[in-house]
Each structure stands twice: as C-alpha cells, then as structure tokens.
Chain A
C-alpha cells in the first residue's frame, strides 16, 4: 500500500510513538508571532527553562497588531522582540520588515516540500501549499516546540480532493476553497489532512495554492497539502539554488513527497470546477457558502482586501484589475493591506497602489489587524464587511459586525457598487 504526502512526512520525522496512533514528530520549523508566543515565553521563564531548541529553525514575526495600538500590544511585541534578541533568533521580523506570517515566511523561502512546521496560529495549514505538513497549534504545543523541537499528533487520515476541469475567467482559488469548505462542512475534515490534486491545482501559482490551503482549517482540517511540482521549484529556486545542481534535480528530490498512486485515502472527492461561479459566504460559519449571484445586492459598509488568505501580489492584481479607472461607492469605505513589505513594494512598482488610491481605498501597512477585529478597520455593531479573509464568525471583525468572505475580484466589484457584486457583471 502506498502512502499519502502526510504519511510520508510523518514517517520521515518520527521521533517517538509513545502510544499506538500518537506520533511525536521532529520539527523543521517553529513559527512564532506576538499573540500566542509571549505566554509560552513567560511560562518557559517561570519554569527556569528559557531556552530554544535551535535558533535557526525558529522564525518570529510581529504581525497581528503592528505597529502596536496600545500599551498591551506594545508589551506583547516587546516580549517577542526581547526574546528573539536574547536567543539570537536571526529571522525575526520587526516593524518595517514585518508582514502577515503566512505570507511572509513562505516568501522568505522558509517552507520546503517534506518539512514539518507548527505555529500558534490556526492558519498555519497555509504552508502545506509547498507539499509540507504544517499545523496550527496552541501555546503549550508551541512552547514544547520552542524548547524541544517536537510536537505530538494523532496521525491524521487524508481526504483527497480532485479539482478537475478549468476555472473560468474571473473565478479564483478563493472561490474554489469556499466551495470546497461549503461541501465538506466546518468539521468535515477534522483530524484529516486535505490533499489537493487535479488540473485546477496544477495550473495554480503558489499564491493561489496558499489561498487554497489557508482555509483547510475552516473545514476542520489539520493541513491543506498540494503536491510539489515545477511551480513549487520555480518559486523556491532563489532559496535553494545552492542546494541543487539544477531545478530538475530539485524537482526529482521533492517528488519523493508526492502521494503514491496507490495511497489509502479516508475519502476521495471529485469536483469539476469548470462551471464554478464566484462564491461568497452568508451567516456566521465559513461553510455557509453561495454563488455571488444569489447574494448580489446585499448592502456593505466596508471592503477589506488583504490577510493571510488573499493579501498576496496576485490577489492585489486581481482586485486592481477590477478597480482600474473606477471609484468606490460613496456609501462605503475600502481598505487594502498588502500582506508583506515585498508585496507592498511590488504593488507600488506595478502601479497597483495608485489604482487602489485613485479608487478611494485606504492603503494600510501589512498586518492581520481587522481580520480578527484587532485594529485597522474594526466594524461597528450592525455593519457588514466584504472581506477577502477566512472567517465570518459572529463578531469576528468587531462585535455585532457581519462578515462576507469572497475573492479579491468580488470584493473590488463590491467596493465599486456598494453592494455584493459579481465582478463579471460590471
């Protein structure tokens, strides 16, 4: 019997199996941000164990509320900053160099096929786009990861999702994953990895694959995984060219992590994406998904483009493509937050920032901010936001606020009309 990608990674990283079914894995990456790490740091200090297992495999960023909005968030940033200095964690990203973790760390080339990674952040599943096993964990798992470089998992089963056909113009990775979450339900993949296959994924860029994997957790999935291929190698090449004689050699090496043809899956789902229309959420769960056409005309108070789901350069291009030469409706306000400084600079040099500003958008620095109702665009009670983020829980972006999740194209079209709009109808 063959193996899935997750099974191969588990076998290659197995440190211990204290009980049948419990696998303690060696970690290639322990990723940290300022919301969930400071309590782990404080606990390690309290235990007299303020150590790190390997300061080159730990990466840290201040991203959730940055620049700090008040004394409390300033203290969280300071705890992380002081800790990174104390342990000489070279890959620490402070104000000016910081961005949304799940956009920044891949952009730096830290995630490779076959890697294991944890972070105290549920959207760590994003990094599976590289053919890695990456899982969100709580602060205690993070703390042990920092100290010992290991994490325990129940070995997950794998759901294989075959995305067949070809996306129509104006339909994007976000529409695909909203549709898949709608089909699976919010706990349809609990204790499961979602392995994405098929021509639709093959044709996707790494940016799009990260959008796809980012929302695996919204179906309860431990990780979303794409198969490493030429696209993966091309993205990583600037970081790995010293390790391989050629991109072909890298591809050969990375292919070992692809699932075997005879791998055993918990479930196999086939979706033909050819007729997929742009999708949007209603209600307060990410599996409440409908075609945009069925929600068209819904009043919106704020548009928010950015986040670890859709704040990458390709996302900004999609939105700018719709916005070019147009103005946002007087009835709403719109915010765009490029996810990293590099993306911000690319957007500047490509003229995208000009398009956003001409359209009437507020352009903010990279931060998680409004997505979780922390800063930079929190909603008032009774307001509705068209957002490219990943969670529409009640009050997520501000108490009493409503969130509709959608692609950057749909969000841009909605900004122009003031109501939920399919960009293809403009």
Chain B
C-alpha cells in the first residue's frame, strides 16, 4: 500500500539504536503488525524519551543518527513504525537490513550527512521539540520547520529504492516483474 510521508518529528539523538530497542524480541510472537503498536521503542533508554508519551504518538517522522536499526533482521522494527504512522526515518546511516526493510515496505529511510542531522536536531531543540518535516520525494528534499525557522536538505536515494516506494513495496514490485 502506498504511504504518505512527513509530519511532526521525533528526535532519537544517539548512534547505533538497535532493533531490540525499537521492538523487543518478546513481542515477535505477535501474529499481526497492529498488535505491535503499543510497544514502539519500549526498551530505548534516552533522556526525555517517553515511549508511552504523546510526543511519540504524534510523531510521523523519526530523525536519528548513525547505524540506525542495527542488530536483528526483524521487520517488526519498520512495522512498529508503520502501525504508528511513522513512514519516514531520517538518519546519518542505517544497518543494511533495516534500510532494505523500510523500502521493502514502501517506506522511506532517508540518509543525510552529519551536519544536516545536527541542523535538524538543533532546530528541534530551539523549537522546544516542535518540528514539522515535509518530504518532497520527487525533488529529493526534506524541509523542516520550527520556531519560525526552516532547514532544507537535499538527499540522495537510489533509483531502485525510489521504485520500491512508488510501487508500494518489494512484493508489488517483484510480483509485477519476476
């Protein structure tokens, strides 16, 4: 199913956030994606982050640092974002499997260089945690607004990943082609 991108941002200001922190293994026995919904980021210990809080419920975009989604191959990590309507992650870099899982689900794993991530995180601090992100996929640009200011960053995305998003995911793409 095709997704919408952008909205209020949640900052996860740490490198190497792993999939156990995004969705603990004990919930991998759930049979549906929807059942994962209450457990998003449950084991992530970050100052100011409340995994049950309003901020997370409102978030539609996650902004984070390097090697996001490392560890287990569990697609439950993108799924727990998907069912919480977070269809965009913006990070300095990703673990391979997590990144592929995002695009395979028709969602966006956008990579930005460190200075851009710093600028986005600073904007969020200035704005008391209230930053809204627009994603312009065709133009390959994200625009973040907060505190009356704007941060605009261009991004690269491989044509294959773009095609997966356009198709709504890898199953749709592969089924039409192979």
Contact = CB atoms under 8 A, between A and B. Distances in A.
A42 B31 contact: yes
B119 interface: no
Nearest to A191: B96
Interface stretch (A159-167, A263-271, A313-321, A390-398): A390-398
Interface stretch (B54-62, B98-106, B126-134): B98-106
B41 interface: no
A106 B9 CA distance: 45
Residue from A154, A222, A393 with most neighbouring chain B CB atoms (10 Å) = A393
A63 to B, nearest CB: 13
Contacts of A395: 20-21, 24, 43
Given A76-B31, A140-B101, A152-B170, A393 B67 contact: no
Nearest to A68: B29
Given A75-B31, A190-B96, A391 B26 contact: no
B71 A144 contact: no
A122 B97 contact: yes
A239 to B, nearest CB: 27
Given A19-B158, A154-B158, A187-B66, A73 B29 contact: yes
A360 interface: no
A22 interface: yes
Interface residues of B, number: 43
A152 B158 CA distance: 13
A138 B75 contact: yes
Interface stretch (A32-40, A171-179, A196-204, A226-234): A32-40
B149 interface: no
A285 B178 contact: no
Given A19-B163, A399-B43, A122 B72 contact: yes
Contacts, number: 141
A325 interface: no
A285 B18 CA distance: 9
Interface in A390-422: 391, 393-396, 399
Nearest to B98: A138
A22 B66 CA distance: 23
Contact of A152 (B78, B101, B160): B160
A38 to B, nearest CB: 7
Contact of B26 (A141, A186, A191, A374): A374
A21 B171 CA distance: 20
Residue from A42, A139, A150 with most neighbouring chain B CB atoms (10 Å) = A139
Given A122-B72, A139-B75, A394-B43, A187 B95 contact: yes
Contacts of B100: 137-138, 141
A-B pairs, top 6 by smallest CB distance, nearest first, are: A138-B75, A138-B101, A140-B104, A187-B67, A22-B160, A72-B29
29 contacts: A16-B177, A19-B159, A35-B74, A36-B75, A43-B171, A72-B29, A137-B97, A138-B73, A138-B101, A139-B101, A141-B100, A143-B171, A147-B171, A147-B174, A147-B175, A148-B174, A150-B178, A154-B158, A187-B66, A187-B70, A190-B95, A220-B95, A222-B96, A373-B25, A373-B26, A393-B71, A395-B24, A395-B43, A399-B43
Interface of A: 15-16, 18-19, 21-22, 24, 35-36, 38-39, 42-43, 47, 49, 64-65, 70, 72-73, 75-76, 79, 120-122, 124, 136-141, 143-144, 147-148, 150, 152, 154, 186-187, 190-191, 220, 222, 285, 372-374, 391, 393-396, 399
Given A75-B31, A138-B97, 9 more contacts: A16-B177, A136-B73, A148-B175, A187-B93, A191-B96, A220-B67, A373-B25, A391-B20, A394-B21
